[in-house]
Amino acid sequence: MNRREFLQGAAAVASVSGLALAAGTKPEPEIAFTFDDPRTDSRANLRWQELNERILSALAKQGVKAALFVCGMRVDSADGRELIASWDRAGHIICNHSYSHLFFNGSGPRGVTLSEFEIDALRDEPLIEGYAHFTRLFRYPFFKEGDTAEKRDGMRAFLKEHGYRAGRATIDASDWAISARLEKRVAADAKANLDGYRDYFLQHIWERGEFYDSLALRVVARPVRHTVLLHHNPLNAFFLDNLIGMFVEKGWRPIDASHAYEDSIYDRQPKIVPAGESLIWALAKETGRFESELRYPGEDDTYENPRMDALKL
């Protein structure tokens, strides 16, 4: 952060904080909802149409427009086109999440070159660019932006050349890990009580939201328009309405994803290697001042599995 950015950020915090103190409250955090990996298979006894409609209905009930990050290989079908179209008709932005969900960090069997990664990003475009709400935001699979400076900077230059911004999220989380457990439970018992998964999900996302919001205020010295990473999965089909309602009850304001991405923080390009994770995590890592708080990777089932094991989830 240069001196001008710091002073602008400090002024913003001072202004917002002054108003908040005058009113006897803290600033109202803002949050937008983003979803990765829409799919057209049945999961947790939900046909994809029902799963999809549940998520869209929860967003409509709360009056917010989300971002859908489409991984092409999961929706390259007539059903997939209808799924994307349903989000487009509802006014949600449609964004690029690559075609094959390749792992951009490392070498060997899971590794991928810069050229391969660029080709795969463009391969996704024909599936999404025809929709009215197509938006040139690119979300890196696994939140990994390159394990070398050459790959990191090469892909950033490629995205800029093709008119894209990085579709990062400020709040990373592991909803996918919780949903995998829920799906396994339903497969074993179609009538299983899912309240424990709901409660764990809400607590997990709240903890991660509070952590990244606190970190953001200390790193960039101003409130940011948060985006949370979620997935198009049964967990959110069942409990997204509860999740958004929880944030509202706790004093956060849901906002449209397109509005969130207008925040200039999403133009920041943290110079760390390996690159990626939550945008706030990466900016904190870049400063070198938060090492005691930053685990790697930022979020993973490695952290959540022991807790869920203890709860018998």
> What is the pLDDT averaged over residues 128-139?
98
CB 268, CB 224: distance < 8 Å: no
Residue with tokens 């930022």: 298
Judge whether 237 and 186 are in contact, CB under 8 Å.
no
CATH 3.40.50.720 describes domain 27-310? no
Delimit the domains of the chain by residue range.
Answer: 27-310
Instruction: Write down the pTM of the prediction.
Output: 0.92
Give the model confidence (pLDDT) of 189-223 as tens digits. 999 999 999 999 999 999 999 999 999 999 999 99
Residue 23 pLDDT more than 50?
no
Provide the pLDDT confidence category of residue 106 given band limits of 50, 70 and 90.
Answer: confident
Using the structure block, give the residue that is written with the tokens 């948060």: 226
Q: What is the DSSP letter of 264?
A: G
Count of Cβ atoms closer than 10 Å to residue 307 Cβ: 12
- Residues 6+ away with beta carbon under 8 Å from 127: 70, 72, 75, 76, 80, 81, 84, 99
pLDDT tier at 26, thresholds 50, 70, 90: low
CA gap 289, 108 in Å, rounded: 33
**Cis-peptide into 297, omega within 30 deg:** yes
pLDDT of residue 108: 65
Of 24-28, 50-54, 146-150, 229-233, where does mean pLDDT reach its minimum? 24-28
Per-residue pLDDT band for 20 (boundaries 50, 70, 90) equals very low
What pLDDT score does 3 carry? 37
pLDDT at res. 109: 65
Task: Find the mean pLDDT for residues 160-166.
Answer: 98
